[in-house]
Amino acid sequence: MRGRTMETLDRDQCIKLMEGHPAGVGRVALAGPRPAIFPVNFAIDRGNVIFRTDRGTKFHAAVHNSFVAFEVDWVEPTWQIGWSVVVNGQAHLVTDPKELARVRRLPLLPWAEGEKSNFVSIESTLISGRRLVD
């Protein structure tokens, strides 16, 4: 088997890949006394990551405008290709009425039980990505 090439992705490529992710699931990483990583389903709104949550650890991070990391990837194991995107930015609760109305229209329904009535936005301050290609 021959080696694959690692390609660095630019911001626009990263956003396009996240927008088209087939499952729409990524991971939010929070720093704190103990680092924590949570899987979330997500959507992209104006280049920012949006997810829903109930009160708890992710909600608390957003209320306090914490800096977080978000990672999403896709792999095709048969062909040994794939990509990974990491977003670093500040999380905040979406509270502005116009912004809230917009994100409520996103195709973003909770997968897990619970109301998940709070929308969190992660500002895409820094985006990096890599793709493994033939």
Count the neighbouring beta carbons within 10 Å of the beta carbon of residue 34: 6
Rounded Cα–Cα distance for residues 87 and 14 (Å): 9
Specify the CATH number for the domain of residue 80.
Answer: 2.30.110.10
| Average pLDDT of the residues in 40-54 | 96
| Domain membership of residue 37 as a residue range | 5-133
Which ranges of 1-134 does DSSP label H, i.e. alpha helix?
Answer: 11-19, 57-63, 97-104
For the chain, how many structural domains are there in total? 1
Is the model's pLDDT at 3 over the cut of 80? Answer: no
Q: Which residue has the higher pLDDT, 112 or 93?
A: 93
Which among 85, 82, 97 has a CA at the least distance from the CA of 132? 82
